[in-house]
A and B are shown apart, each in its own frame.
Chain A
Amino acid sequence: MNIHEYQAKELFAKYNVPTLRGHIAFTAEEAVKAAQELGGSIWVVKAQIHAGGRGLGGGVKLARSTGEVREVAQQIIGMNLVTHQTGPEGKLVQKVYVEEGADIQKEYYLGILLDRAREMPIMMASTEGGMAIEDVAHNSPEKIIKVEIDPITGFQGFHGRKLAFGLGLPKEDVNTFVKFASALYNVYMDNDAEMIEINPLVKTGDGRFLALDAKMGFDNNALYRQEHVHEMRDLSEEEPTEVEAGKFDLSYIKLDGNVGCMVNGAGLAMGTMDTINYEGGKPANFLDVGGSANATTVAKGFEIILKDPNVKAIFVNIFGGIVRCDRVANGIIEATKLTNVNVPVIVRLDGTNAIEAAEILRNAGIKNIIAATDLADGAKKAVAAAKGE
């Protein structure tokens, strides 16, 4: 789960990770009020969407008067913001964060994420603030300084010093930086974060270090114990069908092809997409119906897949282990009664009681159900059906 910049900054503030003051605004009017309340003579109006690269896309603008605040807020709210992280379709901006303007002397990068190979968090810093860290890693990896933080020791002074000196900070700034980094580690661990990215972390003209941007993602498996994080979830930032599927414990991801897939198990679901691709088709989605695959879940699966108007055929690929194929077959038949399935459905059931299942499907005599013998056969038939063959 991801949160907005303004929410991450609220969380930072609780841990004394320094940020600037700001307010959220849903209208240009509110943006002006926010600026007046903040005072000063320079503000930054920032689009709040779950994607980085907003500045380049025109979603972060400086304003030198409340009139300008109104003007840029009007431009940004309601705009379709396209950044390298939104994809070409962009994202609708519904709110802006109005923040005090910073007097930036130098921009840095600071981030924390789980290093899966080392099985512990690593903190990364770079002098190349404001640039996408993936690009820095690619073009000049020597400019990224990394420290691994063993959760047993937690964040120690040396971790911070290694980063600070590595960044070439003057010695009078080292302690300030170490404090900053240490506080950030606490944000990460206490909240079961998966990643934090501050890009840029800036040093201001008056010698302060500030998180000017803030991106955070969290471990979904830990949300049950992070209620305050869970409350920050913004469903409007997520694909509506994915949210709907989630309510029924179905794991669905929309893709841009036309062969719908319904599969049990995440690995086989990905493998099914890959097989469709291999056979010359394009998968319309990832869908893991989980272990049960009964009439209700299958019916819901059909409904969700068919919300996508591109879908021309559905490939149901179930490897029955503990769940018996005859039950799944009955579930599929039942599901076609619960919901209107108007495209060819290619069904491959293998594993426990597969033969009985084939029999059940044949006897049901539903004309848009096509039986397949194995994975390749099913994928081929689904691709052909989607092409109208």
Chain B
Amino acid sequence: MSILVNKDTKVIVQGFTGKEGSFHAEQCLAYGTKIMGGVTPGKGGQEHLGLPVFNTVRDAVLATGATVSMIFVPPAFVSDAVMEAADAGITMAVIITEGAPVKDMMYAKAYATKKDMMTIGPNCPGIITADECKIGIMPGFIFKKGNIGLISKSGTLTYESANQVVKEGFGITTAVGIGGDPIIGLSYKQLLPMFEADPETKAIVMIGEIGGDLEIQAAAYIKEHITKPVVAFIAGQTAPEGKRMGHAGAIISGGAGTAAEKMAALTAAGVTVVVSPADIGKAVAQVMKNL
């Protein structure tokens, strides 16, 4: 078991023939992901990586039965691509692109929601179910199969935590990089219940950062609904106010969105909060021992 994606998930790639799209589609294929083909307007009918290229997402869905789209188009075209996927009946779009305007995502997400399409990202490493399906840009080999669910706003911290979890002798069910933008798709609050319901997941790691209040919402949700142990780390305890720390959404403004307030809320919700990210693996080992 796992959440959202598995070995049967059929995936298409928007921005398939571009440099990034090609490179990562190939890596995903090598991992075993069922990449069915891709979309590049104007290149319909061609073949790329031995797979069909379509002009529209609709064509790709009809021909391949794909339900998930991995999006690599440049920032200026992301909202168009997301809305096209939603219109074509895709059920989940994984948006890897970094740098999409906030206003565009505001419209794209509202439309996706209306069309019942889930979104992950943008500005994220994607989603991976260990040994089954990798949809994104993460190095697959780090994610050994196991019983830990992982949700993270940051790409490299996802790898860092997965690596620590594996070094402690555990592994990952599914890891979801939710992205570091001000407006993102699936977040902790939607993913936590999925991990709670997944029989294979025994504990959950959540990696947050400064900015916004998604972690606070997560804390409230965990307190009420999550029975599995949760280990959390919030990046940016040493970040100054008013500065954007790399991610568009990672900013403390008007004294709100600090790591301290998020850590306090999570601690109050019974989450094991580590102060140093170097302790994530050890904390997971501890909660697993106490099960």
Contact = CB atoms under 8 A, between A and B. Distances in A.
Nearest to B243: A253
B276 to A, nearest CB: 4
Nearest to B110: A152
B99 interface: yes
Nearest to B255: A134
Contacts of A224: 75-76
A253 B210 CA distance: 15
Contact of B139 (A85, A194, A269, A352): A352
Nearest to B247: A266
B196 interface: no
B269 interface: no
Contact of A270 (B109, B142, B212, B239): B239
A253 B156 contact: no
Interface residues of B, number: 63
A319 B235 contact: no
Contacts of A251: 246
B156 A264 contact: yes
B245 interface: yes
B156 A321 contact: yes
B42 to A, nearest CB: 22
Interface stretch (B51-59, B81-89, B157-165): B157-165
Given A219-B102, A351-B139, A267 B207 contact: yes
B238 A321 contact: no
Given A116-B182, A270-B209, A286-B245, A278 B276 contact: yes
Interface string A256-278: 00000001111111110111111
B94 interface: no
A10 interface: no
A117 B217 contact: yes
B101 interface: yes
A225 B74 CA distance: 14
Interface size class of A (residues with CB under 8 A): 35 or more
Interface string A88-128: 00000000000000000000000000101101100000000
Given A266-B154, A322-B137, A376 B75 contact: no
B154 A268 contact: yes
B209 A267 contact: yes
A375 B160 contact: yes
Contacts of B61: none
User: Majority SS of interface residues in chain A?
Assistant: mixed
Contacts of B213: 116-117
A237 to B, nearest CB: 13
A271 B277 contact: yes
B275 A274 contact: yes
Contacts of B254: 133-134, 137
B102 A222 contact: yes
B1 to A, nearest CB: 26
Contacts of B171: none
A263 B277 CA distance: 14
B275 A266 contact: no
Given A119-B109, A134-B254, A253-B240, A271 B102 contact: no
Residue from A224, A271, A274 having most chain B Cβ neighbours under 10 A: A271
A269 B246 contact: yes
Interface in B59-112: 75-76, 99-104, 106-107, 109-110
B237 interface: yes
Nearest to A274: B237
B121 interface: no
Given A116-B213, A275-B277, A319 B102 contact: no
Nearest to B98: A221
A192 B101 contact: yes
A270 B246 contact: yes
A133 B240 CA distance: 20
B160 A268 contact: yes
A376 to B, nearest CB: 4
B250 interface: yes
B248 A375 contact: no
A267 B247 contact: yes
B183 interface: yes
B138 interface: yes
Given A267-B157, A270-B236, A321-B138, A114 B102 contact: yes
B248 A220 contact: yes
A350 interface: yes
26 contacts: A85-B242, A116-B183, A116-B249, A119-B110, A134-B254, A134-B255, A150-B110, A151-B106, A151-B107, A152-B110, A219-B102, A220-B244, A225-B101, A263-B156, A266-B246, A267-B153, A268-B154, A273-B236, A273-B238, A274-B238, A276-B238, A277-B238, A320-B139, A321-B155, A351-B163, A375-B160
Given A85-B242, A322-B139, A350-B160, 20 more contacts: A116-B214, A117-B212, A119-B110, A133-B254, A150-B110, A219-B102, A221-B248, A222-B104, A266-B154, A266-B180, A266-B246, A268-B235, A270-B210, A271-B157, A273-B237, A273-B238, A274-B259, A277-B238, A319-B160, A376-B279
Interface of B: 27, 75-76, 99-104, 106-107, 109-110, 137-139, 141-142, 152-160, 163, 180, 182-183, 207, 209-214, 217, 233, 235-240, 242-250, 254-255, 259, 275-279
Interface of A: 85, 114, 116-117, 119-120, 133-134, 137, 150-152, 189, 192, 194, 219-222, 224-225, 251, 253, 255, 263-271, 273-279, 283, 286, 288, 319-322, 350-352, 374-376, 379
Nearest 3 A-B pairs (CB), nearest first?
A267-B154, A266-B246, A265-B156
